[in-house]
Structures are given as C-alpha cells and as structure tokens.
Amino acid sequence: MIALGEEVGSEMILRSFDHFLQYGDVSVKRAISLSMALLNLSNPKVQVADLLTKLSYESNKEVATNAIMSIGLISCGTNNSRI
C-alpha cells in the first residue's frame, strides 16, 4: 500500500514481485498477479501487462485465471489497444 502513491516504490515492488515469481511456488504466483493488479489499477504499464499476459498462459488453472482477472483490472477505464 505504501508503493501505491510513488513511482520509485512502485518500480521497487515490481522488481520484488518478479523475484517472487522466479523463485516462489504456485501459491505465491496466485497472489502476485492480483497484487500487481491492485498496484496498477487503471494504469496499464507495458511491463506489468506483458508479465500478466505471460502468466495467463501458465499451466496452473488458478494462476491463469487470476492473471486474466488482473489484466481486466489494470485495463479498466482505459482505451489501451495492446491489452
């Protein structure tokens, strides 16, 4: 919640999330996609959208579902043709 208001904090938490995705297990991957969406509500950054798109093709059904829901949350209210 601290990283919501500032750009530097947001970049730092995205790096931390990337490390969690690389080294964490499936339960961590389920939570990371939704937390990334909450961090970037209606603010579809390219890095976040690409990462969530990769997670939407994950073999675990729950991870993929959470990633698709997160893509919807970051793109709501925007006219982003990439998403």
What whole-number distance in Å separates Cα of residue 6 and Cα of residue 81?
26
pLDDT in tens, 42-78: 888 888 899 999 999 999 999 999 999 999 999 888 8
The average confidence (pLDDT) of the chain is: 87
Burial call 35-53: b when 16+ CB within 10 Å, e when fewer: ebbebbeeebeeebbebbe
- Report pTM: 0.85
